[in-house]
A and B are shown apart, each in its own frame.
Chain A
Amino acid sequence: MRITIACPDALRDDANQLAMVLGYGRGDAQTYVDLNWQDADGNLYACASLPVSDTFTSAAQTALQRPAWDADNTVNMAGAGRAQAALVFSPVPVLALPDKLTACVGEDGPVVLAAMGLVAVDDELTSNP
């Protein structure tokens, strides 16, 4: 199963903390970096798309535990908790919201993002005024 996640600008820091908890290590702090997508209102999002196990969604919604690799408290668990509270899982694409971490199931990432109402920032090129 593949999920595609839209992270609004304001949630990036917290969402990267959550990505480290659910992922593998410090490298996952770079999961949401580039604000390459935007919604119809111009809100910017960093997006990720990845294959996950069938248990991922339930794991992502249970109480968070500091990962075993994080002996030096790299992860801001409070931030991860805030991101988890903002997490919305959907088996079908739903519109991304600027105050939610929206995760939708679908095999084609760009298609899912389009169905979430997002376009690549480059798709909204602006010309010389």
Chain B
Amino acid sequence: MRSISSPLDGFSSPFGARRGGGVSPFTPASLFAGSEEGVWYDPSDLSTLFQDAAGTTPVTAAADPAGLTLDKSGNDNHASQATAARRPTYQVTPNRLTVDKVDDRLITTVPAGGFVGTMVLGTDQGTASYGVNIPAGAYDIGGRGGQHFPGTAIVGQLIRDGALTTEEAAAVEADFVEKGATASYGAVTSFNNYWQNWSEITSFPLIDTSAGTDFSRAWLRCTSLTSFPLIDTSAGTDFAIAWIGCSGLTSFPLIDTSSGTDFSRAWEDCTSLTSFPLIDTSAGTDFAIAWIGCSGLTSFPLIDTSSGTDFSRAWEDCTSLTSFPLIDTSAGTDFSRAWLRCTSLTSFPLIDTSAGTNFAIAWQDCSSLTSFPLIDTSAGTDFSFAWLRCTSLTSFPANIFDSVKGGNFTDAFTNTALAQTSIDNILVSLVASGIATGTRVFDQSGGSAPSSTGEAAITTLRSRGWTVTVTGGF
């Protein structure tokens, strides 16, 4: 007789199991009925828990250490911990394995071929399903390195080689919740470090993060993520280091970052991003190192950076950017290394840098820039190395340094291609600044030597204590 399958096969009836046959309650074991590889750990089943790694002393009471948890998937991929100090602790109500987030973790050995499929993790703080690609070998259960875990206790964990359907994953989540896992992450305010270094995650679920204020380091080095869901981050203030090293992300969603103040290092080394969304960064003050190393970005949106004060290293090594938008940097004070090695930039906009004090190394190695705008440098004190090795830079405006507050131009124009008018412009402007105290160093090489106008300016500067080195050796 041909059996007829139903999409409800294996799931519990909303009316409960019928006496004398009928639909059986769902059990995660059914997901391994076809000899699928994977693991299923169930702390609610005391027969699977032992205090020691050898499995000689059973766990019987709350506060017992858990040195071994048996795999209920039928694959014998048991997880153990031989070192006493690293064992999670069994607790009740609900039955769970608590981890200290210092060194606790059980270790299983993923068999040859690895697990490419789905992981369902039920914790005391939330339950979710992830796409995973776990290579063969040792795998931490309870937190990467014992430190990074989305919760403080395992209520249930299932990993199957071969993706679960949405319905199957939901059924496992429901099973874990029935056993005491918290269903939603909706009450969590700090996601700090939760998924740090979970490089096995290939997809991240649309969990409820609406209460989250701290997302710092949450997805640090989740290198296998290629996309990211539109989670609710509307309450988030701290996004520092949130997606650093997510080198597989090819796109990023338009999440709500309107409350965010700290974006420092948020997308550092997201090397596969080619574009970036117009997120709301209007409250952001710290953009230091935010997009450093995003070498795939070819454009950058006109985000609101009007509250930003620290832009140091923000776009360093964004080597594919060919243009840069006229963002509001009017509150910015630190622009050091901001565009270092943006080697593809062919032009630079007239941004408001009127509050900027530190411009050191800001445009160093922007080797495609041919001209530079008349930005406001009136508060600037440090311009050392600012345009070093801008090897195509020929045109530089007059009067740009008329009101600067400091004279550190060490190697500022070394190895550039300045035209004679441009080097004259710079030197005359430095004379106009009147700087006669503090650091007084100016270096230029490459390009043209100054004319008699520039040489006269050099003479004046030297009379004010400057050390001036220019092309031609005057």
Measuring CB to CB, which residues of chain A are less than 8 angstroms from any residue of chain B? 2, 4-5, 19, 23-31, 34, 36, 47-51, 109-110, 113, 120, 122-123, 125, 127-128
Nearest to A120 among chain B residues (CB) is B147
Chain B interface size, under 10 / 10 to 19 / 20 to 34 / 35 or more: 20 to 34
Shortest distance in angstroms between A24's beta carbon and chain B's nearest beta carbon? Answer: 5
A89-B14 Cα distance, complex, nearest whole Å: 56
Residues of B within 8 A of A (CB): 52-53, 63, 65, 82-87, 89, 100-104, 145, 147, 193, 196-197, 217, 220, 241, 244, 265, 268, 289, 292-293, 313, 316-317
Given contacts A109-B101, A113-B102, contact A23 B85 (CB under 8 A): yes
- The answer on a CB contact under 8 Å between A50 and B147 is no
Residue pairs across A and B with Cβ atoms less than 8 A apart, 5 shown, are A49-B104, A50-B100, A51-B65, A122-B196, A125-B241
- In whole angstroms, how far apart are the Cα atoms of A31 and B197 in the complex? 22
Take A27-B83, A28-B84, A122-B220 as given contacts and tell me if A49 and B241 are in contact as well, using a CB distance cutoff of 8 Å: no
Q: How far is the CA of A123 from the CA of B89 in the complex (A)?
A: 26
Tell me the bound Cα distance from A51 to B61 in angstroms: 14
* Complex alpha-carbon distance, A48 and B217, angstroms: 22
A110 to B145, CA, bound (A): 13
Minimum C-beta distance from B305 to chain A (A)? 20
Instruction: Judge whether A27 and B102 touch: CB under 8 Å.
Output: no
Choose among B82, B100, B220, B265 the residue with the greatest number of A CB atoms under 10 Å from its CB.
Answer: B100
Cβ–Cβ < 8 Å partners of A49 in chain B: 85, 100, 102-104
How far is B198's CA from A122's CA once the two chains are assembled, in angstroms? 14
List of B residues within 8 angstroms of A113 by Cβ: 102
Bound-state CA distance A117–B187 (Å) is: 29
Q: Within the complex, what minimum Cβ distance (angstroms) separates A62 from chain B? A: 19
- Residue of B at shortest CB range from A46? B103
- The CA of A25 and the CA of B51, in the complex, are separated in Å by 13
Partner of A28, one of B85, B104, B147, B293: B85
A128 to B269, CA, bound (A): 10
Chain A residues, Cβ within 8 Å of B289 = 127
A122 to B244, CA, bound (A): 11
Contact B89 A51 (CB under 8 A): yes
- Report yes or no: B102 in contact with A110, Cβ–Cβ below 8 A: yes
The 10 closest A-B pairs by CB, nearest first: A27-B82, A109-B102, A49-B102, A48-B85, A50-B85, A109-B100, A49-B100, A30-B83, A23-B84, A31-B85
